[in-house]
Amino acid sequence: MLDNMPRGTICIEDIEMGMSRHLRKIVTDEDIRMFAEVSTDHNPVHMDEDYANDTIFQGRIAHGMLTAGLISAVIGEQLPGHGTVYMGQTLKFLAPVRPGDMVYAEVKVIDIDHAKRRVRLECHCAVDGKKVLIGEATVLAPSRKFD
């Protein structure tokens, strides 16, 4: 890797099928509050315990896109890392994430097009071993040839 390539970045030339990276994060009340402010999504199912108790979730839940953002963090920081360009993402939400939950977010390389620098990644998030989100991402990976 060249000296000016950010640490942790994996260039297209070094990406291999089956490579994976992950992170773990506890979703806090503050995370939910900040996400609501940034996104302007103040749905009471996220913000108001009394309201949320009377929903199918029987309590407050994190925004689904907050959870999906952890996938973005793995892609943007680890695999491929800095310089990666998101091209697309599919998501299916399977279960809620609640304040205090430890979320495990993982991406795994399932297809590589070296000529186009495109990488397809299987993505999921889990809480206590149960998948809460699944999907696929397509990204443009950085290259040593274009730094």
Residue 6 lies in a domain: no
Predicted TM-score (pTM) of this structure:
0.92
Query: In this structure, which long-range contacts are made by residues 112-119, counting pairs with CB atoms below 8 Å and at least 24 apart in sequence?
Result: 112/12, 112/15, 112/16, 112/17, 114/12, 114/13, 116/140, 117/12, 117/141, 117/142, 117/143, 118/87, 119/12, 119/15, 119/80
pLDDT in the model for residue 1: 31
List the structure tokens of 35.
Answer: 């996400």
Digit-coded pLDDT (tens) for 100-127: 999 999 999 999 999 999 999 999 999 9
Output the domain CATH number for residue 22: 3.10.129.10
Digit-coded pLDDT (tens) for 28-78: 999 999 999 999 999 999 999 999 999 999 999 999 999 999 999 999 999
Q: CB count, 10 Å around CB of 90?
A: 10
Task: Indicate the number of domains in the chain.
Answer: 1
Domain carrying residue 21: 12-146
